[in-house]
Structure 1
């Protein structure tokens, strides 16, 4: 998978885990970069690599996941895993957590920046979807 796709899947895992379990999946900061949400600590582990494999050391310990965390990741992979990286990036660009973080920081389209996408903004936006069109996620 591409590094960009991994970043978007991690973002959606965090966002939906916040909604479903009312707690973060992980504590690392997520930032609203020009190409969508990015976890900088994860980025540092795959920096300058386009394609990633299961053999790459990206940190983390899957055996430490709780059952609820594992369920979240599985559902995200099932729902978003077949989507191309660019599709996922464009989706995040249409959603308010990424847009609002960039807007609050005064960042224009394509401009580099490290505005934080807060847990509160993710929870508010994605929780709002649960009563509308995201019930099948």
Structure 2
């Protein structure tokens, strides 16, 4: 399993890169001032970073108990990304509605759009991260099977 500093590097680099992508894309897609999307992005990224650390640790513990390894297959990576985003969606939707002064339905549509982006982004980011920073227990295994 990954040590705490590696998990912190993972979580911070994930969120920083995502912010550079999602803020301009979100402002463009939803016709909302970049400042407001930026604030939403920063608050959301902060919450997501904390969720990321907790979720990934919990997921890895469960995966290791079930399979005796933390090496993820493509199917497990998809499940990992979808479950992460569903948990985050439940937390962020009320915040979006409040801060942007939109209905819960509008917040849901926005949050679902962001979640779709993040599912694809998380899948690619985590695959790349594991390839760049493989764990010793994976020696000889194919990280991208």
Q: Report the TM-score, using the length of structure 2 for normalisation.
A: 0.34
1 or 2, which has the higher strand percentage? Answer: 1
